[in-house]
């Protein structure tokens, strides 16, 4: 089976969907952020605070290469920041973009304090969102809209979309 890579902005539900998708397919899944935290024994927010985003991005590039043996991988929202990550994903699997509106993400992450790049003012958040959306769109093999849908239906849509790959 090819690896199914879930991409999308922070708060688009990648980790939740990865877990449910793997359960439905009776297979393994991993979240690149969890993998990085376990490997380096440090929280993502601390990597940003202590070493900076550049270091985190290097960890992320490596982590993605190291998890390709899993059937389902949920990626960090910034996976689109390095073109190399798309080579890794295209070489080993299919890319599913979980498309979520800015309004929905803002609602879901209203009380979130764990995401360094969400801990910014509203204009910076909008700028980041608007810069990344075309990148997710460009690289996705499949796009699944998540607004107003329950997890179960999103998982079904993904399974239907990737049938035969």
Question: Is 37 a binder of ligand S3P (CB under 6 A)?
Answer: no
**In the complex, least distance from residue 163 CB atom to ligand S3P, rounded to whole angstroms:** 26
Cβ–Cβ under 8 Å, residues 16 and 151: yes
Nearer to ligand S3P, 26 or 122 (CB): 122
Question: Is 73 a binder of ligand S3P (CB under 6 A)?
Answer: no
Q: Angle CA(127)–CA(132)–CA(136) in degrees, nearest 5?
A: 160
Q: Of 30, 44, 67, 72, which one interacts with ligand S3P (CB under 6 A)?
A: 44
Nearer to ligand S3P, 11 or 93 (CB): 11
What is the per-residue burial (b if ≥16 Cβ within 10 Å, else e) of 137-159?
eebbbbebebeeeeeeebbebbe
Question: Is 20 a binder of ligand S3P (CB under 6 A)?
Answer: no
**Coil, helix or strand at residue 29:** strand
Q: Of 10, 22, 63, 158, which one interacts with ligand S3P (CB under 6 A)?
A: 10
Q: How far apart are CA 156 and CA 21, in angstroms?
A: 8
Distances from the Cα of 108 to the Cα of 11, 37, 71, 98, 144, angstroms:
6, 23, 27, 14, 18
Nearer to ligand S3P, 1 or 55 (CB): 55
Q: Which range, of 97-105, 109-117, 136-144, 146-154, touches ligand S3P by CB under 6 A?
A: 109-117
Q: Is 10 left (phi over 0), alpha (psi -120 to 50) or beta?
A: beta
Question: Is 76 a binder of ligand S3P (CB under 6 A)?
Answer: yes
Q: Of 19, 34, 92, 116, which one interacts with ligand S3P (CB under 6 A)?
A: 116
Nearer to ligand S3P, 3 or 74 (CB): 74
Contacts to ligand S3P by CB under 6 A: 10, 14, 33, 44, 76-78, 115-117
């Amino acid at each position: 089976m090819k690896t199914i890579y879930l991409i999308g902005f922070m708060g688009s539900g990648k980790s939740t969907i990865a877990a449910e998708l793997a359960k439905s397919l009776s297979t393994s899944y991993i979240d690149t952020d969890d993998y990085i935290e376990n490997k380096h024994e440090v929280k993502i927010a601390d990597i940003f605070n202590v070493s900076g985003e550049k270091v985190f991005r290097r960890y992320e590039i490596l982590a993605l290469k190291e998890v390709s043996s899993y059937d389902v991988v949920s990626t960090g929202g910034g996976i689109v920041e390095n073109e190399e990550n798309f080579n890794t994903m295209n070489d080993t699997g299919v890319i599913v973009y979980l498309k979520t509106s800015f309004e929905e993400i803002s609602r879901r992450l209203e009380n979130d304090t764990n995401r360094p790049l969400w801990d910014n003012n509203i204009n910076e958040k909008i700028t980041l969102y608007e810069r990344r959306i075309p990148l997710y769109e460009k690289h996705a093999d499949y796009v699944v809209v998540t607004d107003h849908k329950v997890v179960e239906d999103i998982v079904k849509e993904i399974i239907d979309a990737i049938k035969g790959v």
